């Protein structure tokens, strides 16, 4: 029996001619990632190992992004811990205020993730890098510590689900709508510890930012990882950003999949995920019919803070005003994206519309800062989770959507079809 894309990457890094679903392997890592919340815990674990060195100072990335700039004393202490660790071990890829970004937008931009890589990160959305044909997955801080010390990690080889994507998407339909549709279809545990592998002729209609969004949210369906084939779009991105060679893996024709689904992009509609699970989805026509008033709109995060996301939001906000009683918060994913948006006039459009623009940060996504919700408030957000209390008070509500839907809703004050605002 042949192997899937993910299985081939795992086999190569384990030094095995082949691997099978369910097999336990130890594999060599290309990158270990941590942030300002998870890294201090991993540093404490490394101390308990009595380990005084890292396996490779060039293969560790520490990104200060969740509470940056520091929001309180505890977050300041966490970042100080990371800074001191990075200085002690001469970590090459350390990103802090002024040079930082939201980790899963920043690392591909910096060329630190390429096709064929095996990557772990102490953040659940590390699966983002599958957009480039890498096997990347989130781990706990203990596994991060072991990875930093040894350069290795244990894996159970996952089964795979094949998603055959066909057709072309309509205007204002994006990768966010596709992944919300999939999660609504299979559930938050529908891909539990499975590799979500995307293929089909419809892939060429998904730009690289669409793919980052889809791979990013594989975890919201329970997936171990999400992964795309390496085509001309992925290669163009890696040639523009990559700092080292990449290796493209293709699934064998006889690779085994636990399940297979076919999705026609031409039939896809803008999709909204209702509280309090990403799988609680409705199409935009259904959602608009519910006349849901929103208090806040957030456009950003590791899921949807890239330049194409900001462009579509600005297109809908240009010449319009954020509705009275609505707070619209725009968060570029990285400093480079922020600068690009500034040079294109997007920031001016946001401010003139009555939105605010933040420095790159995870901030409101995890209920950290820069947009916490009070009891009874509702937010339409381009983030990736809408669990109870995710963005603030346990009696608040988060509705997940694309940048187009979030921007349109900011203008009307209600969850709105972007076509009605365009």
130-156 pLDDT tens trace: 999 999 999 999 999 999 999 999 999
Residues 138, 224 contacting (CB under 8 angstroms): no
pTM for this structure? 0.95
- Quote the pLDDT of residue 253: 93
CATH superfamily of 5-264: Aconitase, domain 3 (3.30.499.10)
pLDDT tier at 243 (50, 70, 90 boundaries)? confident
Rounded mean pLDDT, 22-46: 96
CA distances from 65 to 99, 130, 131, 176, 302 (A): 11, 21, 21, 22, 10
pLDDT tier at 244 (50, 70, 90 boundaries)? confident
Residues 417, 285 contacting (CB under 8 angstroms): yes
CATH of domain 271-420: 3.30.499.10
User: Lowest-pLDDT range, 25-29, 51-55, 76-80?
Assistant: 51-55
Where are the chain's structural domains?
5-264, 271-420
Phi-psi region of 140 (alpha: psi -120 to 50; beta: other; left: phi over 0): beta
Residue 291 has pLDDT above 80, yes or no: yes
Q: Which of 272, 271, 384, 381 is nearest to 329 (CA)?
A: 381
- Quote the pLDDT of residue 396: 97
Domains 5-264 and 271-420 agree in fold: yes
pLDDT tier at 125 (50, 70, 90 boundaries)? very high
């Amino acid at each position: 029996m042949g192997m899937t894309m993910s299985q081939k990457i795992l086999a190569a890094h384990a030094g095995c001619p082949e691997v099978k679903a369910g097999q336990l392997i130890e594999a060599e890592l290309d990158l270990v990632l941590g942030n300002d919340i998870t890294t201090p815990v991993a540093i404490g674990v490394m101390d308990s190992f009595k380990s005084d060195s890292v396996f490779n100072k060039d293969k560790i990335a520490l990104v200060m992004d969740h509470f940056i700039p520091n929001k309180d004393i505890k977050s300041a202490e966490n970042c100080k811990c990371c800074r001191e660790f990075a200085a002690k071990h001469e970590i090459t890829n350390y990103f802090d205020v002024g040079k930082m970004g939201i980790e899963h937008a920043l690392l591909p931009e910096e060329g630190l993730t390429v096709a064929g890589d095996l990557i772990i990160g102490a953040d659940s959305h590390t699966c983002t890098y599958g957009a480039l044909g890498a096997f990347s997955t989130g781990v706990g801080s203990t596994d991060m510590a072991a990875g930093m010390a040894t350069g290795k990690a244990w894996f159970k080889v996952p089964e795979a689900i094949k998603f055959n994507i066909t057709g072309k998407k309509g205007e204002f339909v994006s990768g966010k709508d596709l992944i919300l549709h999939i999660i609504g279809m299979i559930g938050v545990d529908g891909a539990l510890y499975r590799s979500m592998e995307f293929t089909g002729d419809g892939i060429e209609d998904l730009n690289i930012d669409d793919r980052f969004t889809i791979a990013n949210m594989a975890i919201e369906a329970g997936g171990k990882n999400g992964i795309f084939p390496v085509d001309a779009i992925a290669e163009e991105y890696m040639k523009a950003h990559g700092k080292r060679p990449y290796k493209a893996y293709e699934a064998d024709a006889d690779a085994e999949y636990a399940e297979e689904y076919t999705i026609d992009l031409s039939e896809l509609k803008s999709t909204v995920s209702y509280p309090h699970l990403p799988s609680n989805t409705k199409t935009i026509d259904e959602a608009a019919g519910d006349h849901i008033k929103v208090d806040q709109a957030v456009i950003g995060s590791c899921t949807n803070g890239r330049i194409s996301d900001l462009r579509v939001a600005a297109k809908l906000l240009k010449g319009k005003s954020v509705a009275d009683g609505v707070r619209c918060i725009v968060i570029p994913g990285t400093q480079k994206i922020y600068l690009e948006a500034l040079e294109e006039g997007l920031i001016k459009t946001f401010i003139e519309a009555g939105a605010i623009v933040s420095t790159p940060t995870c901030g409101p996504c995890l209920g950290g800062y820069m947009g916490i919700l009070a009891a009874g408030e509702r937010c339409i957000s381009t983030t990736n989770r809408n669990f109870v209390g995710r963005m603030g008070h346990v009696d608040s509500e988060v509705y997940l959507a694309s940048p187009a839907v979030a921007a349109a809703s900011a203008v009307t004050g209600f969850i709105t079809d972007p076509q009605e605002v365009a």
